[in-house]
Amino acid sequence: MPEITRIEPGKRMSNAVVHGGLVYLSGVVGTPEGDVTSQTREIVAEIDRLLALAGSDKTRVLRAQIWLSDIRTFDEMNAVWDSWVIPGQAPARATGEARLYSPECKVEIIITAVQK
C-alpha cells in the first residue's frame, strides 16, 4: 500500500500531502491585512517553504490554480507571480475569481508539484 505523508496535518486539512512522488498543497493564502501584492508575496514564500518540506521546489510545480477575490487584480498578482516563476519551468495554470473565507483574503494559490 503506497504511503501517504501528511505535512503539518490539522484536524480540518493538512498543509501538504505527498503520495507516489506527487505533492498536493492546500490552498495558500496571505495575511488579510495586506494588499494583493503583499499577499501574493507571502503566498509564494509559503509555497516555497511547503515545497521544501515536501522535497520539491518551484522548478517542479506541475500545475497551479489561482483564485482572486476580485479578478481585476489579475495584473497585480501576475507581477509577483512572474518574478517568482523560473523562465522555462512555468507550470500549467488557471486563474479565476472566487471570494475566499475571509473577505480580506484576496488571493489563494493551489499547487501540485513533484518531488525531486
Whole-angstrom Cα distance, residue 13 to residue 11? 6
Binding mask 68-97 for its own copies (x = CB under 8 A): ---x--x---x--xx--x-xxxxxxxxxxx
34, 37, 53, 65: which one binds its own copies (CB under 8 A): 65
Around 39, how many Cα atoms within 13 Å sit in the side-chain half-sphere? 23
Q: How far is the CB of 108 from its own copies (least distance, A)?
A: 6
Work out whether 106 is an interface residue with its own copies (CB under 8 A).
Answer: no
For 30-87, list the strands marked E by DSSP. Answer: 61-68
**73 Cβ contact partners less than 8 Å away, ≥ 6 residues apart:** 36, 106, 107
* Residue numbers at the binding site for its own copies (CB under 8 A): 1-2, 4, 6, 9-17, 19-22, 24-27, 60, 62-65, 67, 71, 74, 78, 81-82, 85, 87-101, 108, 110, 112, 114, 116
